[in-house]
Amino acid sequence: MATLKDIAEKAGVSMMTVSRALNGEQNKVSNETAEKIRLLAEELGYIPNSSARSLAARSSRIIAVILRDTDTGNPLTDPYNAFFLGRVIQLLQREGYYIMIHFVRDFSEITFGLRSWNAEGAVFLGLFDDEIRQIRQNNRIPLIFTDSYSNVRQISNVGIDDYKGGCLAARFFLSHGHTRLAFCAPLSGKSGVITERLRGFSDTLKENGITLSREQICNISLSSAREILVGLKRSPAPPTGLFASSDHIAWQLYKAAGELSLSIPEDLSVIGFDDLPLGQTLVPGLTTIRQDIDLKAERTCEILLRRLSQSKGTSETQILDVELIPRASVKDLR
């Protein structure tokens, strides 16, 4: 392993000159010696030691991506996380950063992971709202959250218009003649994302004189999709349309419907959220609220890079638009 020192000796100059030449500090080394040094480095297969650089310069070029670990499977089992993470890695790597991944269960692990390697920034995937204040306080580097509804000011956040997504779903149902509706989501985690989707949905219904009762807001982390469908169908006025908080949950509803010999959209219409490839494989094709995951990843990286280059970066928030993708899972009742 060649070091700066080795090169310096062979070149007959000091380590500092080598360091400057290799780090491309223009006009600080004569072109002549710079060229000689670069050739020598190439020849010796010199690879800078990032640990040493990190230690001396306090600049690691490491970005941490932090995902909340899950109990079932792993976080990358969720296609949303996988797509987003993959794109973030591509973009940051292109800018010369190294990516370290941390799956965390407890927020104390976050500070450890970031400090231990002197990370220069971090991207968060998953629900951290309750801990954001603490995380921010412990780590004075650019932190970019995604889908956060924390009320902490001064955080950078990239999200989508979840409320509008809920509105779009409601309007689509209404415009197709549906008036008896229900919402289905994992409600146990007090996620802002889900709260807003529901709020947009129920507000729009309310504007049209329809109130969502408690029985029409189904918690799929408590009951299975099958139990939910059975319960809804048994009710006095069973819903004709179901708004699922994600495509993945819509899929579970499809499966349960199949088991119960309910036909979609004949017996039950469904709208999902995300527009994952999954929605196109389902039969009938899933009508869903689309979010642009690649764009979200790009915006996240842009903000991060900007805050990394300006030492006194101010926080920034971006909320991306959503749109409804009509396919075949909603029946026209008119």
Partner DNA sequence: CTGAAAGCGCTTACAG
CA–CA separation, 304 and 143 (whole Å): 8
Buried b (16+ CB within 10 A) or exposed e, 66-79: bbbeeeeeebbebe
Strands (E), the chain: 62-68, 98-104, 121-125, 143-146, 156-160, 181-185, 217-219, 241-244, 269-274, 287-290, 317-320, 323-325
Nearest to 112 by CA among 127, 120, 98, 102: 102
Return the number of the residue (59 or 219) whose C-beta is nearest DNA: 59
Return the number of the residue (37 or 135) whose C-beta is nearest DNA: 37
Q: Give the footprint of a second copy on residues 276-295 (CB under 8 A).
A: 278, 280-283
Closest CB 103 distance from a second copy, rounded Å: 6
Binding pattern to a second copy, positions 247-266, x when CB under 8 A? Answer: ----x--xx-----------
Write the DSSP string, 70-112.
-SSS-GGGSHHHHHHHHHHHHHHHHTT-EEEEEEESSTHHHHH
Closest CB 145 distance from a second copy, rounded Å: 20
Q: Give the footprint of a second copy on residues 16-75 (CB under 8 A).
A: 47-52, 54-55, 60, 69, 73-75
Return the number of the residue (47 or 333) whose C-beta is nearest a second copy: 47
Q: How far is CA 242 from the centre of its chain?
A: 25
State both tokens at 17: 């000159």
CA–CA separation, 184 and 241 (whole Å): 11
| Residue 3: strand, helix, or coil | coil
User: Judged by CB under 8 A, which of 111, 134, 195, 315 binds a second copy?
Assistant: 111
Closest CB 134 distance from DNA, rounded Å: 22
State both tokens at 158: 């990239």
User: Judged by CB under 7 A, which of 39, 55, 237, 333 binds DNA?
Assistant: 55
Q: Tell whether residue 77 is a contact of a second copy (CB under 8 A).
A: yes
State both tokens at 132: 């954001």
Closest CB 198 distance from a second copy, rounded Å: 25
Q: Tell whether residue 48 is a contact of DNA (CB under 7 A).
A: yes
C-beta separation of 229 from 256 below 8 A: yes
Return the number of the residue (29 or 91) whose C-beta is nearest DNA: 29
User: Judged by CB under 7 A, which of 35, 43, 49, 108 binds DNA?
Assistant: 49
CA–CA separation, 257 and 263 (whole Å): 7
Binding pattern to DNA, positions 3-22, x when CB under 7 A? Answer: xxx-------xxxxx-xx--
| Interacting residue ranges for DNA, rule: CB under 7 A | 1, 3-5, 13-17, 19-20, 23, 27-30, 32-34, 46, 48-49, 52-53, 55-57, 59
| Interacting residue ranges for a second copy, rule: CB under 8 A | 1, 47-52, 54-55, 60, 69, 73-77, 79, 81-83, 85-87, 89-90, 93, 98-103, 111-113, 115-118, 251, 254-255, 278, 280-283
